[in-house]
Amino acid sequence: MSDDRRRLDEPRNVTRIVYGLAVLCALALVADFFYAKHPHFSVEDWPGFYAIYGFVGSVTLVLAAKRLRRLLRRDEDYYEPPERNTDD
């Protein structure tokens, strides 16, 4: 099993990646103050608009999809009995 353990199996390393991502996000936010904007829309002038929009949009998307699943979810063999697609 020793060769089967990889670095990502260690929760500590995954947490490190998450911290790394957080640092990148922070950098991207800070970078917002260091360039001249040429907006087409007034919303683009808001500090960190893209970042906030991306974050809020994604969370909304996932939570809304989760609610939709309650309505839309059916058994896997709803249309026809399961069958393995074998080829090659």
Partner 1 sequence: MTSPALLLMFGATGVPLARGMPRRALVLLLPVAGLLMLWLSPEGDSAGFALFGLELIPVRIDALSRLFATGFLIAALLTSIYALHMRDPLQQAIVLIYAGTAVGGTLAGDLVTLFVFWELAGLSSAFLIWAGRTERGYRAGMRYLIAQLISGLLMLAGIALRVQAGEGLEFGYLGLDGPGDALILLAVGIKCAFPLLHAWLIDTYPEATIVGAVALSAFTTKLAIYVLARGFPGTDLLIWVGVAMTVFPIFYAVIENDLRRVLAYSMINQLGFMVAGVGIGGALGINGASAHAVADMVFKSLLFMAMGAVLLRTGTVKGSELGGLYKSMPQTAALCMVGAASISAFPLFSGFATKSLIMEAVAQEHLTVVWLLLLFASAGVFHHAGIKIPYFAFFAHDRGHRVAEAPLNMRVAMAMAALICVGIGTAPNLMYELLPHAMHYAPYTTPHVINQLQLLLLASMAFTMLVRTGLYPPEIRSVNLDADVVYRRMLPRTWGALSRTVPRLRRELGPPIHHLAANLWSATTRPLRPDAKPASPWPTHSMVWWAVIMLGTVLLLTLL
The contact set with partner 1 (CB under 8 A) reads 4, 6, 8-9, 18, 21-22, 24-25, 28-29, 31-32, 35-38, 40-41, 43-44, 48, 50-55, 57-59, 61-66, 68-69, 71-76, 78-80, 83-88
CA atoms of 28 and 54, how far apart (whole Å): 12
Q: Least CB distance from residue 33 to partner 1, whole Å? A: 10
Q: Is the Cβ of residue 12 or residue 75 nearer to partner 1 in the bound state?
A: 75
Q: Least CB distance from residue 2 to partner 1, whole Å? A: 13
Q: Which residues contact 49 (CB under 8 A, 6 or more apart)?
A: 43
Amino acid at position 14, single letter: V
